[in-house]
A and B are shown apart, each in its own frame.
Chain A
Amino acid sequence: MDPSTFALCATMYLRKAWDEPGIEVTGARKIIGGASRHTWSVDAAWNDSHGAPQLRELIFRLDPPASLLASNRGTEYAMYRALYGSPGIPLPEPLLLEDDEDAFGMPFFVMERLGGVAWPQELLTPAFEGRREPLVRQMYRVLGSISAVDYEAVGLQGVLPVPAPGNTWEPELERWERTLHDHDLGPMPITAAVIRELRRHPPPPVARPRIVHGDFRVGNVLLSPHGVVGVLDWELTHLGDPHEDIAWSMARNWRSGAAPEMIGGALRPAEALAEWESTSGMRADPESLRWWQLFSHVKANAIWATAAHEFSIGRTSELMFGTMGWLNIGSQEKWALEDMGVLTR
């Protein structure tokens, strides 16, 4: 869809949804990088009943025909609604959830557009000079705040399945194992061995399931030089073990070539853990972290396999999807073996 057509469709939709016949949408542009949903930025302007000019800067998140992730739009929207305004967790305001495909040919939701940047290369620009370390520290305090939320107190018990505290790991492992099976790229002996190892040695139980973002990392957090502006991309959210988010956020996948040993290019893992502990009220458990670190390789490979499969069956012609299958899996499996500690030379 080209920007002018998108602006027109958004204008028609918002006029009806907000009962504001004077709304005009301008500045439509597709945001690069959203591989799980199509993301568009627009400005909606109108005059209110007193003639005062109004402007809303908006993001539309549309469900594409092919996606990296099988996710539930309603769940993602519910997360924004449940956590919006929670202390220490900056989020865009969720505004509209639309299941009807009439407006754009696919369902979507609308939320407030925040400032800041998500693309990690932006952190290397002069504006962020000297700011990376405090920002990454804050990211982990935000993650700790997410882990600390009582999911019942924010009304999520009917939205997200509640796993048994002693078995938060199995539904997640089964989910990604099934994803790998459904998007078969051929035999993957290393990933299969990792899965067996994970089943043989489950992680310690959690006292109580916590909100897990599911894709918390550099790239999915809006940052400005002044601080964390918003946590985005809640497609994979679920209740489970908070170590899952810590391990995923620290995975080598998201590291910077300028400082590959550091998290977010600026912080040692132990320092990041201390920040998380300071707001979560929990202690990170090394055994759990190791389990979820290995699990991250399975999950990542399942995501790469999904992309490759969608491309192979012609559901998308996005080059990124086509290359992911063979671009990422080798390195993922190499890291998995290194993390398992099974290599003798």
Chain B
Amino acid sequence: MRPEPPLALRAALKTLEEIAEESADAQEISRLRGVSTLLTILEREWDTCASTRLAGISRYTDIVRRGAEMMTGARRARLTEVLAEGGRNAGDYRISSLEKSLDRLRAAVLDLQSWIEDSEGPEDGALLASIWQAEYEDAKSEDRNHFFW
């Protein structure tokens, strides 16, 4: 069985830890900590980096589709174009491509949200609630907070 990349990343982290333990140079230790943080996140997100983005794309696509159905004119056309662009890239699973798709959808959601925030219809309210929830899931998937101290 081939060693999984996270296993190699864990070995790299252990090596960094050993170097840090032997160092008395605060600056070097601080820089090693920075690299450790980066590797820790890569190790943690290795297996899920595509699936979390695909889930985000799916959530936002649903929001934009609902928004397109509610809008008219140029706004509807813009949202429809974003959906079509997403369809054209649907088979491209490179992370860079998924990120671009997410950003296109985020831009569309940003516009959609600013259009409906001051509306008072029940459909607007329901869509806005869905937007908040989708954004929350998106933020949670990118929540890499570690405590300051």
Chain A residues with a Cβ under 8 A of chain B: 30, 32-33, 119-121, 123-124, 186-190, 192-193, 196, 218-219, 253-257, 260, 265, 319-320, 323, 326-331, 333-334, 337, 342-345
Q: Can you name 22 A-B residue pairings with CB atoms under 8 Å?
A: A32-B26, A32-B30, A186-B106, A189-B107, A189-B109, A189-B110, A189-B131, A190-B138, A190-B139, A193-B113, A193-B135, A196-B117, A219-B148, A253-B148, A256-B147, A319-B31, A323-B37, A326-B142, A327-B41, A327-B144, A343-B133, A344-B133
A290 CB, nearest partner CB in chain B, Å = 18
Question: Lowest 4 CB-CB distances: which A-B pairs, in order?
Answer: A330-B142, A331-B145, A257-B147, A120-B149
- Structural contact, B139 and A333, CB atoms closer than 8 A: yes
CA distance A119 to B29 in the complex (A): 14
Contact partner of B106 among A187, A337, A345, CB < 8 A?
A187
A189 touches B148 (CB 8 A): no
CB closest residue in chain B, given A333: B139
Which among A119, A257, A331 has the highest number of chain B CB atoms within 10 Å? Answer: A331
- Residue from the list B26, B107, B131, B140 in contact with A330, Cβ < 8 A: B140
Q: Contact size class for B?
A: 35 or more
Residues of A within 8 A of B34 (CB): 319-320, 323
In the complex, B11 has a CB within 8 A of chain A: no
State whether A334 touches B114 (Cβ < 8 A): no
A331 to B107, CA, bound (A): 19
Which A residues are in CB contact (< 8 Å) with B113? 189, 192-193
**Given contacts A32-B27, A334-B140, could you give 4 more A-B pairs where the C-beta distance is less than 8 Å?**
A190-B139, A254-B148, A331-B144, A342-B129
Pairwise interchain contact B132-A337, C-beta atoms closer than 8 A:
yes
Kindly state the separation between the CA atoms of A253 and B103 in the bound complex, as whole angstroms: 25
- Verify if B70 is at the interface (C-beta below 8 Å from A): no
Given the complex, which residues of B lie within 8 Å of A219, measured CB to CB?
Answer: 148-149
Is there a chain A Cβ closer than 8 Å to B35's Cβ? yes
Please judge, given known A-B contacts A256-B149, A337-B135, whether A344 and B109 are in contact too, CB under 8 Å.
no
Contact residues in A for B41 (Cβ distance below 8 Å): 327
User: Is A187 touching B145 in the complex (CB atoms < 8 A)?
Assistant: no
Residues of A within 8 Å of B146, CB to CB, are 257
Nearest chain-A residue to B131 (Cβ)?
A: A189
Say whether B92 faces chain A, with CB atoms less than 8 Å apart: no
- Inter-chain CA distance A333–B30, complex, in Å, is 27
Q: Chain B residues near A329 (CB, 8 Å)?
A: 142
- Tell me if A337 and B139 are in contact (CB < 8 A): yes
What is the CA–CA distance of A319 and B32 in the complex, to the nearest angstrom? Answer: 10
Whether the pair B148, A187 counts as a contact (CB closer than 8 A) is no
Closest Cβ of chain B to A252, distance in Å, is: 8
Question: Which of chain B's residues have a CB closer than 8 A to the CB of A328?
Answer: 144-145
Write the chain A residue with the least CB distance to B144: A327
How many Å lie between the Cα of A297 and that of B145 in the bound state?
Answer: 14
Q: Which residue of A lies closest to B136 (CB)?
A: A337
Q: Is A344 a contact of B38 with CB atoms below 8 Å?
A: no
Task: Say whether, besides A30-B27, A326-B144, A124 and B149 are in contact (CB < 8 Å).
Answer: yes
CB-based contact B140/A186 at 8 Å: no
In Å, the complex CA distance between A187 and B125 comes to 23
| Bound-complex Cα distance A265 to B138 (A) | 29
B72 CB to nearest A CB, Å: 22
Measured CA separation A342–B113 after assembly (Å): 13
